[in-house]
Amino acid sequence: MVKKEIKVINELGMHMRPAGILAKRAMAYNNCDITLRVNGKSVNAKALMQIMSAGVKCGNTVEIICDGMDEEMALDELVGLFEGGFGE
């Protein structure tokens, strides 16, 4: 299992677009469980509505936890998405 904390820089927080991109990318890792821990909640990074329902705002710290096949690769990619502000 690998994990990393990262700050959300998107102005509107994890609104639909970034949440959608995140879920889509996370889903590519079939055999790896990916969890986000934020504001005391744990959500499945592959579930769009869960991510959105966590109400993640700009400036929140999110812990990404990857567990399974290709976990390092998954973590790197997702961290990159957050760092790049999901291209916004």
Partner 1 sequence: MRIYTGKGVYGAVAIGKIAVFKRKELSVKRFHVEDRNKEKKRVEAAKNVAREELQDIYDKALKEVGEANAQIFEMHMMMLDDVDYNDSICNIIETQAVNAEYAVAVTSDNFSEMFSSMEDAYMKERAADIRDISNRLIRKLQTDKDENTLEMDKVIICADDLAPSETVLLDKDKVLAFVTSHGSSNSHTAILARNMNIPAIIGVGDEFLQEISDGVSAIVDGFTGEIYVEPDEKTSKKLLKKQQKDEEKRKLLQELRGKENITRDGKKINVYANIGSVENIGAVLLNDADGIGLFRSEFLYLESKDYPTEERQFIAYRKVLESMAGKRVIIRTLDIGADKQVDYFGLKKEENPALGCRAIRICLTRPEIFKTQLRALYRASTYGNLGIMFPMITSVREVEEILSMCSEVKAELINEGVEVSDKIELGVMIETPAAAIISDMLAPMVDFFSVGTNDLTQYTLACDRQNPEIEDFMDTHHEAILRLIATAADNAHKHGAWIGICGELAADTSLTERFLRMGIDELSVSPSFVLNVRGAIRDIDLTK
User: Which residues participate in catalysis according to the annotation?
Assistant: 15
User: In the bound complex, what is the minimum distance in angstroms from residue 40's beta carbon to partner 1?
Assistant: 16
The verdict on 52 binding partner 1 (CB under 8 A) reads: yes
Q: Is 55 helix (H, G, I), strand (E, B) or coil?
A: coil
Look up residue 67 and give its two tokens. 């567990």
User: In the bound complex, what is the minimum distance in angstroms from residue 48's beta carbon to partner 1?
Assistant: 5
Look up residue 28 and give its two tokens. 């590519």
Residue ranges in the chain assigned as alpha helix (H): 16-27, 48-53, 71-83
User: Which residues form the interface with partner 1 (CB under 8 A)?
Assistant: 9, 11-13, 15-17, 20, 23-24, 44, 46-50, 52-53, 55, 57, 59, 83-85, 87-88
